[in-house]
Structure formats: structure tokens, C-alpha cells
Structure 1
């Protein structure tokens, strides 16, 4: 995994080497806030989807977050509410929807959606293995 880091944020890039070439297959970001980590900037290259890579990267990121910040109590993320398949995927990975729904961040200069979008907050408690 490659890495870009600032004070409270780390972005990890997953690459696969084949035929003397390196291919970016996924990325995932960790933003630390008090005793939580927000998981975002998570994507898997479309050529590599549905092969279990996303699950491996998410599990790796959760473990890495705990290594970086051992007192973590919660993983969290925000998912576009229109992406019901992603919400269901994260639920299968142990995340739960919360009552918190935020407006799409148009002010953050991330684009103007063509449909009404909101961000569904999801959390997963950190379970520390003894």
C-alpha cells in the first residue's frame, strides 16, 4: 500500500503488480477524530470489483486505524443515500445506519448532483481482540 498523510488524515493506495506493471486497484482514507475514525475516499477500480478486494481493503483499513490509534471506539462513514447497494454492502460488513443524515456538501466544491442526494451516516463499534 502506498500512503499520503497529513496530521489527522491518511490516504492508502492499493496496487497490484503484474507483468512488470503496477496497477492501482483501490484507495481508502482514514480521518481520525477523538476516539473515532472516519473511513472515506474508498473506491475499487471497476476492473477489480466483485473479486473481494473491497472487503480486504476495508478490513485492512480498520486494522490499520486501530494500529495507528489504539484507543479507537468506533469506525464511521458517510454514504450517498441513493447508493442503496453500498449501504447494504457496508451493513454486511458490520456497519449500521444511524439517525444522522446530512445534506450533500455542495459548498465543498465536489460537484452538483443531478438528483437530490444526502449522506447517510453509518457506524461500526471497534471490537478489540484479546
Structure 2
């Protein structure tokens, strides 16, 4: 198990995080299984988009580091009412299949509950074409709610190559 140190993302992390996020979502490497390269083309996030995300008052971006220098993963938490939405979640493709993502998700859920003790659920949106990722989240306690949304073209997070929807998944945190 890799020893991870967690902290809040800083503005100075933006270039490294943009590289990590785009690499994890938009390239295919030997260990990578979270890529969307077959389904979506174009950049997943820009420096300006990430800067805007870091400035949101109800949102935090957690960074997981190895040896306080190498960013291994990140995960975003947006607090709304009694739920936390999980997004911008990725692990360095070279560190996938080593339980890093599982550790990051577990830490983020506990961080969210500590920050807002009255939270009752975590919500995330997953591409409907990513069956292996949906199964992964189901093993982590998330269930499909039945809610679907169209792919957010207006968010400028890439252009679908195939018909795609986002499916909502939810986990009870109580």
C-alpha cells in the first residue's frame, strides 16, 4: 500500500493538476483503466476551469501526494444541502490498480463528513458507457439512482465520440 499525504489543493498546484487530470481522463497507458479516450475527445480541464473550481465557496479539491512532492491523485468535493458531490476524481495512471483511488475516495468521504457532520449522502456522475467504473463504485457502496443527465457540452470538458449520458450514483454516508 502506498503511503499518501492529503492536503487541500493550492493555486500553485494548478499546472500539475491540469496535467494529471487530462492525462488520467484523456490518454491510454498500460495501467490506466479510467481513461475516457475512446468516448470523449479534447481536454478534460483547463487551468482557468480549475482555478474557477478552486475559488468556489462550497467546494474543495483534495490532493493526495507521495513524499510531499509527487501528486498521485485528486478529488473534488462540492457541498450542497445534505449531500456532497464528488468530481474531478483521478489517480495518476502509473499508480492505478494499487488501491490509491480507493484510499482517496475513503479519505474524501471521511473528510466531507468531518467538515459537514449532517451530510447524509455522497453523489457522483459517471459516464453510462463506463461499465467497469460503475462496477468499481458499486463495490465502494454507491448505487445507481436512476437519474440521468445529458453530457455537459456547455461545460467545455470534451466532446463525445459516441452517445453518452451521465448517470447519477449515490452512497448513504450515515
TM-score, normalized by the shorter chain, greater than 0.5: yes
Aligned residue number for residue 8 of structure 2: 3
Deviation at 1:55, TM superposition (A): 0.5
User: If the length of structure 1 is used for normalisation, what is the TM-score?
Assistant: 0.91
Aligned residue number for residue 59 of structure 1: 106
Q: Give the number of equivalent residue pairs.
A: 124
Partner of 1:85, secondary structure, is: helix
RMSD: 1.2
Query: Unaligned 5+ residue runs, structure 1?
Result: none
User: If the length of structure 2 is used for normalisation, what is the TM-score?
Assistant: 0.69
1:57, 1:111 → 2: CA distance? Answer: 25
1:111, 1:63 → 2: CA distance? Answer: 31
Query: Unaligned 5+ residue runs, structure 2?
Result: 1-5, 10-53
Aligned residue number for residue 49 of structure 1: 96
Deviation at 1:2, TM superposition (A): 3.1
2:79, 2:150 → 1: CA distance? Answer: 22
Quick check: which one's helix share is greater? 2
1:29 and 2:79 matched: no
Partner of 1:55, secondary structure, is: helix
- Structure scoring higher RCO (CA < 8 A, sep ≥ 6) equals 2
Partner of 1:61, secondary structure, is: helix
1:118, 1:39 → 2: CA distance? Answer: 17
Deviation at 1:37, TM superposition (A): 0.2
Deviation string, structure 1 residues 77-102 (Cα, Å, up to 9, x no partner): 00011111110000000000011011
Deviation at 1:121, TM superposition (A): 0.2
Aligned residue number for residue 89 of structure 1: 136
Segments ≥4 residues shifted beyond 3 Å = none
Deviation at 1:9, TM superposition (A): 0.4
Quick check: which one's strand share is greater? 1
